[in-house]
Structure 1
Amino acid sequence: MRTSPNRRGTLRSLAATTLVAATALAAVACSSDDGPRETDHPSVVASTDVWGSVAAAVGGEHAEVTSLFNSPGADPHEFEPSMADTAKIEDADVLVYNGGHYDAYVETAAESSRALQVNAASLLPGGVESLGGHDHDHEAGDEDEHADEHAGHNHSHDGANEHVFYDLALVGQVADKTADALAEVSPMNAQYYRDNAVAFNEGISELRGRLAAIKKAHDGTDVAATEPLSSYLLDEAGLVDIAPPAFTAAVENGQSPSAADVATFTDLLQNRKAAALLYNTQAVDPATQTVLQIARRSNVPVVELTESLPSGVTDYLAWQSAQIEQLEQALNA
């Protein structure tokens, strides 16, 4: 639970200011003409354990992956890197991060780094600009190649949803980009990295197949989420989030939803207008706790979602599989 509801919004404003001033970066780009040193065991730094788990799946035994944020009970939006964290970013061979306002500190610290960079948000059809932030260069063809993958995605109040780690197709692309970056730093292990990326994407395909099955059985079904965390996932599953937009926007920005929005949310749960409540366990305040209690009293199934890996979980595919299983069970209840 957050101890300071307004702090999240303040940090985002600061992050946005920092981001506008940051140097433009490519999806996989070198921030120095010299580039990283060649090594048989690259150092990879990820902004969160979610992106760290993707990097680890690709790097395997031929990479050292460090995740800066790895606290299951905390809010990633409130994370403030230490000087030691900044040093890790500067010394890395490869950086894997979300992009946009979510972890802008990585881009700031990377200005003095020679690391190759994998910026997930830059792979969105509209690039980082679609998140309401400063865009970065794309590799030729990236945007056109994957535009259909993202067509129709739900948007947040400021543009596209910044939680791009819930976009399974995009996460698969990040794995491929990470393999490319690692192969450049460690050419002797290039095939190993690319084989791992292929295996990871096979797992992604299996998860997407389950979402397609949900869509076939429940296309157009209404659900309600306390925060627009999983809109990419819901869109692919054919589900419609009917939660009051002002409520979810307030929660996303660390603010308290209005009494009217809480009442609207309560009404749709009490009258079972939503087939399930999707509850972000890392963005909790009195308003979200109220709707959770109402959902349980009204026998509305609850799907608990997270922004980072739960305690004891290190595998991205296992994490998303468990969350999709919750969704499957809720819709079939």
Structure 2
Amino acid sequence: MRRVLATVLIALLGVVVAACSGEKTPRTTDRPVVVASTDVWASVARAVGGEHAEITALFNSPGADPHEFEPSMADTAKIEDADVLVFNGGHYDAYVETAAASSAALKVDATALATGETGDEHADHDHDHAADDHAGHDHAINEHVFYDLPLVGRVADATADALATIAPMHAQYYRDRAAAFNDGIAGLTARLAAIKARHDGAEVAATEPLSTYLLEAAGLVDVAPPAFTAAVENGQSPSAADVAAFGDLISGRRIAALVYNTQAVDPATRTVLEQARAASIPVVDMTESLPAGVTDYLSWQSTQIDRLEEALDR
């Protein structure tokens, strides 16, 4: 009886220790559940997971502003129950990390990959992106990291590694698909290099610092008034002086194109849009999430690069 009681006590003690440790072990399954913060990151996860993963995007509203998204209780439950989480990081979708505090999910944090701050085994600390020289998350780098094409390729690789951990029977499948995705990224990067060869140093003006990484890869210089773009990014109205300064760029025909975020629109951005059209300055529409009917990341970015090429080659 004493031996039985001792065994029971040891078992109970083990349960208590495990509960106090807060550690959870990811499960193994042949069809991992992946929850992405936005449809953009879901499209990357889908490119990797294919038929051997279940992909869900929390924010999936074309035309809406992802910055204003507030998850429901059902969304929080999805995060807690996920096998893999793919998200932007920083303050862009901080609700994911908050909800995942008690989750066993493997986390693929794009911003952490960019800054090299992740402790996750999937991080690549050899990444030489200029942002690595900074400290911190979204305060150190432009938080729209889904426009950093090489980084998105690394997110695909990290997602493949995470999925392979959960579903080792499909590991090669995931890694092959990530490699194919990166081939597509290389093709888009080559197109940006070709734009740079033709238009290096050309000045453009963006209504918000959305596509900064892509514009820089194309050799373009964004000369929009910083106070104007900062106000738009923070959901505030630019001052009259900043709107006037933006208008001067257009009326003086200093810019080769207006890069217009169609999901961060207010009276000030509409004003500069109208001015650009009146001055016959090409307008390049860019979005913060996938347009209606689009589910593929590479196709989305290819279309936007098409618009940029057309505007600059006019």
How far off is 1:272 after superposition?
A: 1.0
Against the structure 1 CA distance between its residues 151 and 111, is the aligned structure 2 distance closer, same or farther, given a 3 Å change threshold?
Answer: closer
Task: Please identify the structure whose Cα radius of gyration is greater.
Answer: 2
1:141 and 1:82 mapped to 2: Cα distance?
30
How far off is 1:147 after superposition?
A: 1.2
Match of residue 95, structure 2, among 94, 100, 105? 105
- The correspondence of residues 204-283 of structure 1 with structure 2, limited to 5 A, is 204-283=185-264
Higher relative contact order (CA 8 A, sep 6+): 1
Against the structure 1 CA distance between its residues 63 and 33, is the aligned structure 2 distance closer, same or farther, given a 3 Å change threshold?
Answer: same
1:150 and 1:255 mapped to 2: Cα distance?
26
In structure 1, the residue matched to 2:282 is: 301
In structure 2, the residue matched to 1:76 is: 66
2:133 and 2:252 mapped to 1: Cα distance?
28
In structure 1, the residue matched to 2:124 is: 142
2:105 aligned with 1:123, yes or no?
no
Unpaired segments ≥5 residues, structure 1: 1-30, 128-134
Match of residue 311, structure 1, among 292, 300, 308? 292
How far off is 1:159 after superposition?
A: 3.0
How far off is 1:209 after superposition?
A: 0.2
Supply the AA of the counterpart residue of 1:177.
A
Match of residue 96, structure 1, among 86, 94, 103? 86
What RMSD in Å do the two structures reach over aligned CA positions?
2.0
- What secondary structure does 1:310 align onto? coil
In structure 2, the residue matched to 1:114 is: 104
How far off is 1:158 after superposition?
A: 4.0
- What secondary structure does 2:86 align onto? strand
Match of residue 51, structure 2, among 55, 61, 74? 61
* Contact 2:24-2:103 at 8 Å conserved across structures: no
TM-score (ref. length: structure 1): 0.84
* Contact 1:276-1:300 at 8 Å conserved across structures: yes
In structure 1, the residue matched to 2:5 is: none
2:231 and 2:62 mapped to 1: Cα distance?
22
* Contact 1:32-1:114 at 8 Å conserved across structures: no
Supply the AA of the counterpart residue of 1:119.
D
- The correspondence of residues 318-329 of structure 1 with structure 2, limited to 5 A, is 318-329=299-310
2:69 and 2:306 mapped to 1: Cα distance?
29
Against the structure 1 CA distance between its residues 162 and 241, is the aligned structure 2 distance closer, same or farther, given a 3 Å change threshold?
Answer: same
TM-score (ref. length: structure 2): 0.89
Against the structure 1 CA distance between its residues 48 and 215, is the aligned structure 2 distance closer, same or farther, given a 3 Å change threshold?
Answer: same
Supply the AA of the counterpart residue of 1:63.
A
In structure 1, the residue matched to 2:161 is: 180
How far off is 1:37 after superposition?
A: 1.0
Superposed CA deviations along residues 228-271 of structure 1, whole A, max 9, x for unmatched, are 00111011111000000000000000000000000000110111
2:160 aligned with 1:166, yes or no?
no
Against the structure 1 CA distance between its residues 32 and 322, is the aligned structure 2 distance closer, same or farther, given a 3 Å change threshold?
Answer: farther
2:201 aligned with 1:201, yes or no?
no
Superposed CA deviations along residues 12-32 of structure 1, whole A, max 9, x for unmatched, are xxxxxxxxxxxxxxxxxxx96
In structure 2, the residue matched to 1:10 is: none
Q: Once structures 1 and 2 are overlaid, which stretch shifts more, 265-274 or 75-84?
A: 265-274
1:74 and 1:319 mapped to 2: Cα distance?
17
Against the structure 1 CA distance between its residues 103 and 256, is the aligned structure 2 distance closer, same or farther, given a 3 Å change threshold?
Answer: same
Unpaired segments ≥5 residues, structure 2: 1-20
Against the structure 1 CA distance between its residues 106 and 245, is the aligned structure 2 distance closer, same or farther, given a 3 Å change threshold?
Answer: same
Identity %: 71
How far off is 1:139 after superposition?
A: 4.3
* Contact 2:122-2:162 at 8 Å conserved across structures: no
Segments ≥4 residues shifted beyond 4 Å:
138-141, 148-153
Superposed CA deviations along residues 151-198 of structure 1, whole A, max 9, x for unmatched, are 899xx9943100000000000000000000000000000000000000
2:99 and 2:28 mapped to 1: Cα distance?
21
How far off is 1:137 after superposition?
A: 2.9
